[in-house]
Amino acid sequence: MSLPRSQARVIRLHADDDVVISLDQLVAGTHIESENVAVAGLVPPGHKMARRDIEPGAAVRRYGQIIGFASRPIRAGQHVHTHNLAMGDFTRDHAHSADARPTVRAAEPATFEGIVREDGRVATRNYIGILTSVNCSATVARAIADRFRRDIHPEMLAPFPNIDGVVALTHGTGCAVDPEGEGLAILQRTLGGYACHSNFASVLVIGLGCETNQVSTLLATQGLTESARLQSFTIQDTGGTTRTIARGIELIQQMLPRANAVRRQTVPASHLVVGLQCGGSDGYSGISANPVLGAAVDLLVAHGGTAILSETPEIYGAEHLLTRRAQSPEIGRKLVDRIRWWEAYCARNGAAMDNNPSAGNKAGGLTTVLEKSLGGIAKAGSTNLVDVYEYAQPVRAQGLVFMDTPGYDPISATGQVAGGANLICFTTGRGSAYGCAPSPSFKLATNTALWERQSDDMDLNCGEVLDGTRSIGELGARLFEMLLDTASGQPSRSELHGYGQQEFVPWQISVVT
């Protein structure tokens, strides 16, 4: 049922905007007092309504930025969406470093209770991991991990309360690819990043034996050597499935006492590396949850921590807002180079950069990738962009960085964790279900309706911004404190549900032969 006309609410995000965003379902004849416009037709919650007449071909703005071009005449009060708004090419002024500013540090560093590894790296979780070089060893890896599941065999980990679990992260590739190609290099870099991730106390790598992605080569290319912490073997050398599972269980049992011998201690928030994700976005994402996450990112950076923005196709058309904040022109150009790579990648594969948003995004009010990108960038807050990384590269800089990844969340977050993210923060307007072992995933709902419908999967309701009960700054500060609690061991909703093992998805770009 629609609200009485006097209660219909809309938001205009910028003085120059051609559209407002509906907070309620708008019906024909409703007078929007703030815009002095009568609604013409039906405008669903989260969708756009024209606040003035727009001629065909004219640019349409939201956030004060172009989100597309009118594909037909649009009259004031009409619904603006896929039926009358389309993509178009336009020039962006990258203005490298024009808006870069000195970083302001917090006077009193925030802290959390982390696990300090022998080499000084700090973990937020304490897992034992089982990685596979190839899909052929996935079944045995899962069988080994299942032997240590607390819900099936609670006796196996009962003596080891400081271990969060034993997880198998398997994938669908590793063979029939160019051994010298970029695709295999990405897979090896991803596996190498997980093998040395701080949230893994120990790691077991299992191969088949005859695959292109040989375990010995994988370890050598990533600078890894076997030790008490890192063990590897293959099914063929061990003598088949049954013996492989038995040997894997035996090796994990040997790893347990050492992995359990940890304790949490107070460490500065500068040890946090947070991957920023948004999935199942809606028309509210760029108004509530993403800006709230951006406010928390600003606090994280002020306390010396690191945030990783990613999903290159979902900053497309809005990248100029990041290049202007690049700490140096070189960093800005690195970002533009990744955009150009994606344009060429899509062109040679017969695809287009504007194949976003998804069906769910559109149902939630997003029309073009430009609109989605502008809202997505809000996750990054307002600090300088200090570096740009390729997929799964180790993140060394502190502050806001960008990692080149696809927009598909499991692939994107996998790259972030491989790069060192020890926490994932995930905004959603439609209700994504996601986790990312070994790093906890914290979920933010963009609207109260989603929170009430799916609070079982959500950690924070950012719909309070839309409801007018909390400001972006207030919720950003609250989120920052909640992230410190999560990093200290407080389980997130996705962890309670057991998400994380199935969502390991390395980026595959190789030709499979």
What is the bridge-based pairing of β-strands 37-38 and 31-32? antiparallel
Measured CA to CA, the distance from residue 189 to residue 371 in angstroms comes to 32
Assess if CATH 2.30.130.110 describes domain 5-86.
yes
- Tell me the fold of 121-264: Rossmann fold (3.40.50)
Measured CA to CA, the distance from residue 359 to residue 267 in angstroms comes to 43
Instruction: With a cut of 70, say whether residue 6 has pLDDT above it.
Output: no
Q: Over the stretch 249-283, which tens digit does the pLDDT of each residue have?
A: 999 999 999 999 999 999 999 999 999 999 999 99
Percent of the chain with pLDDT over 90: 94
Mean pLDDT of the region 209-222:
98
Q: Do domains 5-86 and 121-264 have the same CATH topology?
A: no
The pLDDT value recorded for residue 89 is 82
Q: pLDDT grade, residue 433 (50/70/90)?
A: confident
Map out the domains of the chain as residue ranges. 5-86, 121-264, 275-496
Q: Over the stretch 102-131, which tens digit does the pLDDT of each residue have?
A: 989 999 999 999 999 999 999 999 999 999
Q: Over the stretch 153-191, which tens digit does the pLDDT of each residue have?
A: 999 999 999 999 999 999 999 999 999 999 999 999 999
Q: Are 456 and 494 in contact (CB under 8 A)?
A: no
Joined tokens for residue 274: 């947070």
Measured CA to CA, the distance from residue 231 to residue 481 in angstroms comes to 37
Joined tokens for residue 291: 């800006």
Joined tokens for residue 425: 């923060």
Mean pLDDT of the region 191-218:
98
Position 499: which residue type? Y
Percent of the chain with pLDDT over 70: 98
Place of tokens 């989603």: 450
Q: Are 103 and 383 in contact (CB under 8 A)?
A: yes
Measured CA to CA, the distance from residue 511 to residue 176 in angstroms comes to 8
Alpha helices, DSSP H, located in 382-457: 409-418, 448-454
The pLDDT value recorded for residue 302 is 98
Give the number of other CB atoms < 10 A from CB of residue 423: 27
The pLDDT value recorded for residue 8 is 84
The DSSP call for residue 377 is: G
| Phi, psi for 371 (deg, rounded to 5) | -65, -45
Joined tokens for residue 238: 């061990």
Q: Over the stretch 17-34, which tens digit does the pLDDT of each residue have?
A: 999 999 999 999 999 999
The pLDDT value recorded for residue 385 is 98
Q: Which of 295-304, 354-363, 414-423, 486-495 has the lowest mean pLDDT?
A: 354-363
Q: pLDDT grade, residue 1 (50/70/90)?
A: very low
Instruction: With a cut of 70, say whether residue 73 has pLDDT above it.
Output: yes
Q: Which residues contact 209 (CB under 8 A, 6 or more apart)?
A: 234, 235, 236, 237
For residue 443, which of 399, 489, 491 has the smallest C-alpha distance? 491
Tell me, rounded to whole angstroms, the distance of Cα 509 from its chain centroid. Answer: 19
Mean pLDDT of the chain: 95
Q: Over the stretch 295-304, which tens digit does the pLDDT of each residue have?
A: 999 999 999 9
Measured CA to CA, the distance from residue 290 to residue 222 in angstroms comes to 35
The pLDDT value recorded for residue 322 is 97
Q: Over the stretch 413-426, which tens digit does the pLDDT of each residue have?
A: 999 999 999 999 99
The DSSP call for residue 314 is: G
* CA count, 13 A, side-chain hemisphere, 378: 24
Joined tokens for residue 408: 């598909």
Judge if the upstream peptide bond of residue 438 is cis by omega within 30 degrees of 0.
yes
| DSSP-assigned states of every residue in 76-112 | TTBEESTTTEE---------TTTT--PPPPPSS--EE
The pLDDT value recorded for residue 357 is 83
**pTM of structure:** 0.96
What is the bridge-based pairing of β-strands 111-116 and 122-123? antiparallel
Instruction: With a cut of 80, say whether residue 410 has pLDDT above it.
Output: yes
Joined tokens for residue 106: 């917090």
Tell me, rounded to whole angstroms, the distance of Cα 203 from its chain centroid. Answer: 24
Place of tokens 């120990």: 202
